[in-house]
Structures are given as structure tokens and as C-alpha cells.
Amino acid sequence: MTNKPLDSLPPTETLEMENGLSLVPRVRLNLTVYSSSQVVTKPIDEWKMKQTLIDFLKNSLSVSITVPEDDLQIRRLKDLKKRKRDDPIAFGTLFIRNLGFLNKTSKRNDGEEEEKDVKELEKKFLDWRKYIVEKMDGIELNIEGVKYKLNVDVPESDNFEAMKKAWEEFYAFGSRGLSTRGRQEPDTIILRGAPSRWFAEPRVSSKPSMLVTHTIFSTFGKIRNLNVAEDDGLGKDANEDGGDLISGLHCKIVVQFEKYQDFYNTFKVLCGRSFQKFLGGN
């Protein structure tokens, strides 16, 4: 378990939790692929597209990035006949997990200096992520003589500052005149798509457990309300060209915290990290 306060956790540091779970830092980017030609006669070769992007990351950046094939997903549009002229022909997701090069070489023990280091590292992390997006967004890829254009952006769920600004504006202006309880602030986080077995009682059931889930999320602060259930709607929400999600294997977790600061710190830690289950757990 990590004893460091959440508000002093650097963006490149893993948060260890209960039940063998960890929140592991990574950069996640959405990829959208367009054809540079008006006419598309055959589907994109996903494997060759992946290799082209992996080579780009390794050879065309200020710091060489090695990305395993499993961390780069390309999903082509299956039915090109239904595609409109300006529609994309493929979508993808890129995960960059090796972020150790962003860490400082020296560590300070003084509290104020350590806090300063965390702020500097947060800025360095965000600047580097912005650099990656700017380097990749709009590039032209040539695969066997066929040219494609790549669009790259940060998912909304990973853009903490943008979401923070959105909820502050909503509560400042959107709910004006609708409440007499004084200042309102968000307190609830909804997570979807987590494997149910990660939040189940080991050797008892594969279904998510309220007790196990409460223990895990108590890492972040005091919980006012909690709900966890199988997320059968996730598979229904996915379109035919999306990921393959099997009903019953994933869960939806709704956590309401007692304090806004716990909500804030949790939201910030979740942005830019993925849950990971280590061997030895369920």
C-alpha cells in the first residue's frame, strides 16, 4: 500500500491499493485515421499501420519511445461501403507506459521542496504529453503507396484540467438559482469497464463485491455512498466497430465521497492512470 498523500503523488508514480490492485501511470491517446484519397477501395492493413506508428515513436521523437504491440490498438472500419467521403477509416488507442525518463535524478526530503518537485514534474508530464500530440497529430503515413492522415488527441477522461474547468463553470453558472444550499461541488465518480473479478471476493465469486469495492476505494477517502454492479450496458453501448466487450465480465462503480477534496484528489489520480491487477491477487 502507498502511504503517500494523494495530493503529493507524482504523475509518474504507481499507486498501490488493496486486493492486489494498482493504478499505473500512462499516457493514453486517441487515434483517428483518415484516407488522403477520395476513394478507398480496400480496408487498411492494421498490422502495417501499427508497425509504421511504432517506428515513428521510436525514431522521430526527442526521446525514443518503445511501445509494445499490445499497447497500440487499431480498429479499422469494417464496412467501407457505408463510409461517407470524409469519414475516418480506422480508430485506435495508444498507451505509453514507460515514463521513467520524466523523473528527476535527485530527490529532496524537505516537504516544501518535495511539493515543488511534484508540481514541476506535473508540468513536465503535461508538456511532454502535449509535445507527443503535436508531433503525431496531422502526420501523413505512407503504407505501401497508400497515404493516410492521422489525428491524435487526449481523451476527455484523461484531461483533468479541462474537466475541472468544466465542473467549476457548471457549478458556478449552470446551477445558479437552482439551489439554496450554498456552494455546491461535485462529489461522485463513475467508473465503467473495470473487470468484475478484480472487485470480487477471492475464491468466492467472480461477481463484484460491495465490501471488496468499498475497501479498495477507501484508499482515496471516506465514502458516503457506493454502488457496484455488472455493467451489461457497456457492451450495448459499443458500436459494431468498437472493442469486443462480453456482457457480465465488466462492472460499473459509482463512488460518492463525503469530502470534495477526496473527490478532487481521486479524480486527479485516476486521470492518466490505469488499473492493473498483479499476480498473487484474484
Regarding pTM above 0.75, the answer is: yes
Give the tens place of pLDDT for each residue, 127-159.
999 999 999 999 999 988 889 999 999 999 999
Distances (CA, A) of 145 to 79, 80, 81, 137: 22, 19, 22, 20
Q: What is the mean pLDDT of residues 172-194?
A: 76
Same-domain pairing of 37 and 113? yes
Is there a domain that residue 48 lies in?
Answer: yes
Q: What is the mean pLDDT of residues 160-180?
A: 78
Same-domain pairing of 103 and 173? no
Residue at a domain's end among 153, 185, 207: 153
Residue at a domain's end among 153, 185, 211: 153
Write down the pLDDT at residue 103.
Answer: 83
Residue at a domain's end among 153, 182, 206: 153
Mean of all residue pLDDT scores within the chain: 85
CATH code of the domain in which 252 resides = 3.30.70.330
Same-domain pairing of 181 and 237? yes
Write down the pLDDT at residue 46.
Answer: 92
Same-domain pairing of 228 and 189? yes
Dihedral sign (CA 238, 239, 242, 245) = positive
Give the tens place of pLDDT for each residue, 201-220.
988 888 999 999 999 999 99
Is there a domain that residue 127 lies in?
Answer: yes
Same-domain pairing of 183 and 205? yes
CA pair distance 16, 18, nearest whole angstrom: 7
Same-domain pairing of 207 and 234? yes
Write down the pLDDT at residue 244.
Answer: 52
Same-domain pairing of 174 and 118? no
pLDDT at 190 over 90: yes
pLDDT at 180 over 60: no
- Structural domain count, the chain: 2
Predicted confidence band of residue 239 (pLDDT cuts 50, 70, 90): very low
Q: What is the mean pLDDT of residues 3-19?
A: 86
Same-domain pairing of 180 and 262? yes
Write down the pLDDT at residue 85.
Answer: 75
Q: What is the mean pLDDT of residues 22-35?
A: 95
Is there a domain that residue 17 lies in?
Answer: no
CA pair distance 212, 202, nearest whole angstrom: 9
Write down the pLDDT at residue 281.
Answer: 42
* 47: phi then psi, degrees, rounded to nearest 5: -65, -45
Give alpha helix (H) positions in the chain.
Answer: 46-59, 111-136, 160-169, 210-217, 233-237, 260-270
Residue 41, domain extent: 27-153
